[in-house]
Amino acid sequence: MEYISKTVTLKNGKTCLIRRGEEQDAELLIEHWKTTAAETRNLTREPSEDDLTVEEQRALIREKNEEENVLNLLAFVDGQHAGNCAFNPVEDSLRVRHRCAVGIALYQKFCGMGIGTALLSEILAAAKAAGVRPEDCTVFDDSLAACQGARAARMRVVGVYDGLFAQDETEMRGYCDVYIKSFEELLYSKEP
């Protein structure tokens, strides 16, 4: 999917460049995944699960960029990669092709600056252009700002506990359709 790069102003007055991921970003994206997956348990995969080579990552970026309804955005602050946001259709079947998965992952040092909000806004605009309605998206997130933004956008919201945002837990529960302490609550059934 095509995307025209843009610069947004963050809460702290700094600027953030948002652009589409390109093949030359392969190494940067591999490192990002390993680091952010190690920083929090609130991503869907473990750091060790992403074992793509640089060439495999380049091929994946190339393939995704050629698709009409897939977008991976990268954010940069002061020339440093701050995080990513992506949307992908869930499936191509007629019954659920209007649904999509949205994921955001920021390096912890960039959390709370408004980067996630800016990325989510851009992804939602792209999803809408691809025919995906916000109410057909579910956001899983650990930050109050992201949950508030998703709720304001009329998305379903699943709040995920993270010690980094523990002080916001009570308020977060007010924005979430569901609040969980970990993804394990959704993945594993409890013994009777």
What mean pLDDT value characterizes the chain? 84
Q: How far apart are CA 134 and CA 149, in angstroms?
A: 11
Q: Which residue has the tokens 């701050």?
A: 82
Residue 161 pLDDT: 87
DSSP category for residue 102: E
Residue 78 pLDDT: 95
Dump pLDDT digits (tens) for 80-139: 999 999 887 766 555 555 567 777 888 989 988 999 889 988 988 887 887 778 887 877
Residue 78 — left, alpha, or beta (φ > 0 → left; ψ -120 to 50 → alpha)?
left
Q: Of 65-69, 100-104, 141-145, where does mean pLDDT reach its minimum?
A: 100-104
DSSP category for residue 64: H
DSSP string, 163-187: GGGGGGHHHHHTT-SEEES-THHHH
Domains and CATH numbers, the chain: 6-187 (3.40.630.30)
Reduce the DSSP state of residue 69 to 3 states and report it: coil
Distances (CA, A) of 133 to 20, 28, 82, 153: 21, 31, 27, 10
Q: How far apart are CA 59 and CA 53, in angstroms?
A: 10
Q: How far apart are CA 170 and CA 56, in angstroms?
A: 42
Contact 133, 109 (CB under 8 A): no
Q: How far apart are CA 127 and CA 69, in angstroms?
A: 7
Global model pTM greater than 0.75: yes
Contact 182, 161 (CB under 8 A): yes
Q: How far apart are CA 16 and CA 178, in angstroms?
A: 31
